[in-house]
Structure 1
């Protein structure tokens, strides 16, 4: 923004500005510089906030994957136990029927 203000002043010609216009031109340029600094400061803050959000989302995603893997392992273990119990029950029934 300040670059635009400076460019406009260059086109007008700083040397041609009257003594009455010079303070106004300085004020406009000063405000342009202040706006540029404000914009940069806010950009950095927003950028940091976004980086924090992305990092937190990655962490939560990894935790979800770990939880999902643990749940899947528990389900597999439970299914194996049920399978074993069914096999034992079938063997016992088979032995009773043979006897």
Structure 2
């Protein structure tokens, strides 16, 4: 896999090997930056570009991991004592 920078400046992960059915043109600039762009009918792949496939199109999903079940349920909130007044019910939202 290889990270590229698209024409819009976003990062795109492509497969390491060229792909005949790929839809992404990849080239290396003089500075060493690996760039990529979408291949279209108006702008096909140029001779100096390699045709690659985005990794997201060929990546096989990893087995989904289920979260561990909680052994004990979380404790229920305790009610306020009778001599406590909850002021948050009466307060308005803060204005910033």
TM-score clears 0.5: no
More strand by share: 2
Pick the structure with greater CA Rg.
1
Provide the TM-score with structure 2 as the length reference.
0.25
More helix by share: 1
